[in-house]
Structure 1
Amino acid sequence: MIVSLLSARTWKAHSFAYPLRTFKRQLGHLDIHIAFHYRLTAKLFEADVVCIDSEVCNKRRGNPFPYDRSEVTARARERSSVLLWFDTADHTGGTAFQLLDDLDLYCKSQLFQDRKLHLESWYADRIFSQHYHQEAGVEEAGAPPTREPADPSQLHKLAVSWNLGLADYTTFSASGRRWRVLTGRSGYEDRVQASAGPRELDMALRFRTRYGLATVSHHRTETDRRIRAFAEETDRTISPDGKLPYRQYRRELGRAKVVPSPFGSGEICYRDFECFLSGATLVKPDMSHIETWPHFYEHDVTYARHRWDFEDLEDVLDGLLDDPSRARAIAEAGQERFLQARSPVGGERFAERFEALVRRARDNAAGTSETRASA
């Protein structure tokens, strides 16, 4: 079976497609062969199944002339018997459900556990932005973005694809990224640091607090403020303010016991997986509202969660730092699950999942699908 993917030469598109390249052999065992395309030409449709990465519709370096979403899906629908859209937007509420009529399957790296939440619109397109708007009175400057909710009759077309845990973490330098994008590199060459051993820094607290959305900035600023106050009151050590070159930043994570990782543009952040690679204990706001794959976010197993209103944040941090054995167990479990997902065995699971997505799309295209549990 030939599967065409319309992609872009950007880092985000490269990261999304990375497991498709890396697990080529496992996909081949299931008779799935991926053909990568970067232009909407006739060759794209010389396939059994067509997939579109939403990144082709975003203007970035490497993709200076983005396609219009509605135009690209309408044109693809005319030529494709089976059509899948892969939404790689960071936040769960960042959707393009107006395209659903033209699609056989709408895949996203994370969806709401309760699919009915996709029938609603959210303040600034984010459920956590709505929380800070309602509970803390944070207002966006001007009219906040809003997305069209899904139609109830289309919910069966929604499916979970895969998240940033399967992305490329080899380099984050601009030149290194560009080289890997242009050469289509693959393979997980992870630099892993074991969680055992001395870690002199209690918390690595180095993340951006200013975002284009006031609600996101509030969430990150409040996280930073509360943790710094907690560190001062309890005499805990934290990283200083300021930005570091990426290699130094990664070394700092490797010296930390705990790495808080607040929401950013979306719930899932690169920092989560940098934490796993560094062998530290991940602390995040409660992630139980989303379904994602691989399943990296299991409370008190692979990460420690805190409430969105921060009321228990200090207690969560104190509990981990006062119980190093528990913190280390969470760090080890998180790292093990992360590395397993990127292993050859993880590749077999990825291939099976991709095959299941294609099967669902084919069923929908044939008009024989039933409402199923999410892939």
Structure 2
Amino acid sequence: MSKLTLSPSAGVPSLLVRKSRRVVRSLLDTGVATQIAAKRASVSGRKCCRVLLLSDGIKGTSEQQFAPLRRFRQTIASELGLVFEFDSTDSISTISKEHLSGYAAVGLKLAFDTPAERAAVLAQTLFDAAREAGAKCLVFDGDDDPCVIWPEVINACDTYIKKHQFSDLKAYKRGYHGKTNLTDYAHQTFAVDFSANIIPETLPLEEDQIAKIALGWNIGLDDKIYDLSRDLSAADLCKPKTIDISCRASVAPDTWTYGMRNGAVKAMRAFEDKMRVHAPDTRVPQQEYYNEMLSSWLTLSPFGYGELCWRDFEAILCGSILVKPDMSHVATYPDIFIPGETYLPVAWDYRNLEEVCVGVLQDTELRDQIRHTARQRLLEALTAQNFVARLESTMKAAAVLNA
């Protein structure tokens, strides 16, 4: 394949823009921002519901679960009366009923590698005080998979908010080798052993635990994706398609995701004599990465540590059709995984990859329809109006707002 012609700044803003965004986002965390939100809730005539969120701040990707709460906090206050405040889990050891007086709900976020015993202690301590204060007890799970790794934590809370969950809740009634359904798949398919892992197994959940799981929102609302939606220009999206299918997803053989990732690359390379395939095994700057997607009719996005990754949303924003292992087992929002409408599902072992790709590349009307439908739906999901609707649904499920 010929070398890509790079747009000078495709999807990558200037240093000044990046700095200004950091400043704006830092201001969204201040007490002044909280006071403004409270005032907007009051002016709107809605009952003000204060929600305190405590996080350990360890995992950046997990912390992004709160990004749209900060981004749209003023609109949220006006439309729903919800006023979010943010604090650290460091304060849990000294927290009391008095500290939490006046809050409608208290939320907890912990990194996935927090030892189970410590996670249970933090949750129980915080939620005991919250219940004394009359507040609902929420856990925000920032993990990239649908599973629940701390039965003790879900026992302690009222509602356990996931970025995505199993579409069939019966899947929570079985145990998994390793941390997730995907580690279990790697174990069953590629004989990967997780017995010495920090999370060697995931236990089945009981009915009352499953009933606490509520759907929140996924990484498609992260700052990275929101920014990209604003940074791609019309000229970027008109870039000629010089690649039929691309995938930059190689990992080292000793990584547990290797079987799933390598299977995708191997399947693509099997038909590189029939179409323009781009499957490099090196890392590149962000600009070149986006240029590849802008130049590709199709982008293959294999599973990794979880089912979803930024590539899913980046590809769609770049006008490339997302091709991905079948996602029918997952319920999530934004839902860009509607077969034949917003993405193209393939078998987990990629046995039908060539057939699926050839079919859509030959049907130019369907090809363009999927590209445009997926991009439009994602852009709509990134608006304040759509996020407020999603948040309202989640908070009603958590009984923070009246149903």
- Shorter chain as normaliser: what TM range? 0.7 to 0.9
Structure 1 unmatched ranges of 5 or more:
60-64, 171-185, 364-374
- The answer to whether the 8 Å contact 1:209/1:220 transfers is yes
Which position in structure 1 is the counterpart of 2:60? 11
- The answer to whether the 8 Å contact 1:84/1:103 transfers is yes
Secondary structure, counterpart of 2:359 in structure 1? helix
Alignment of 1:155-304 (within 5 A): 155-169=210-224, 190-192=230-232, 198-210=240-252, 214=256, 216-231=257-272, 233-304=273-344
Secondary structure, counterpart of 1:282 in structure 2? strand
- 1:8, distance to aligned residue in structure 2 (A): 3.8
Aligned equivalents of 1:357, 1:18: Cα separation in 2:
20
Q: Percent identity?
A: 26
After superposition, the Cα gap between the structure-2 partners of 1:131 and 1:13, relative to the gap in structure 1 and judged at 3 Å, is closer
Aligned equivalents of 1:242, 1:188: Cα separation in 2:
22
Q: Which has the larger radius of gyration?
A: 2
Aligned equivalents of 2:250, 2:277: Cα separation in 1:
19
Using structure 1 for the length normalisation, give the TM-score.
0.82
Which position in structure 2 is the counterpart of 1:146? 201
Which position in structure 1 is the counterpart of 2:139? 85
Using structure 2 for the length normalisation, give the TM-score.
0.77
Structure 2 counterpart of 1:107, which letter? I
- 1:196, distance to aligned residue in structure 2 (A): 5.4
Structure 1 counterpart of 2:220, which letter? G
Secondary structure, counterpart of 1:89 in structure 2? coil
- 1:103, distance to aligned residue in structure 2 (A): 0.7
Structure 2 counterpart of 1:223, which letter? A
Which position in structure 2 is the counterpart of 1:180? none
- 1:337, distance to aligned residue in structure 2 (A): 1.0
- 1:287, distance to aligned residue in structure 2 (A): 0.3
- 1:25, distance to aligned residue in structure 2 (A): 2.5
- The answer to whether the 8 Å contact 1:196/1:328 transfers is no
Structure 2 counterpart of 1:6, which letter? L
Secondary structure, counterpart of 2:278 in structure 1? coil
Secondary structure, counterpart of 2:224 in structure 1? coil
Secondary structure, counterpart of 1:84 in structure 2? strand
RMSD over equivalenced CA pairs, Å: 2.8
Aligned positions, number: 339
Structure 2 counterpart of 1:4, which letter? L
- 1:269, distance to aligned residue in structure 2 (A): 0.8
Structure 2 counterpart of 1:54, which letter? L
Aligned equivalents of 2:224, 2:190: Cα separation in 1:
37
Of stretches 194-203 and 256-265 in structure 1, the one that deviates more from structure 2 is 194-203
- The answer to whether the 8 Å contact 1:281/1:331 transfers is yes
Secondary structure, counterpart of 2:349 in structure 1? coil
Q: Which has the higher contact order (CA 8 A, sep 6+)?
A: 1
Aligned equivalents of 2:372, 2:117: Cα separation in 1:
43
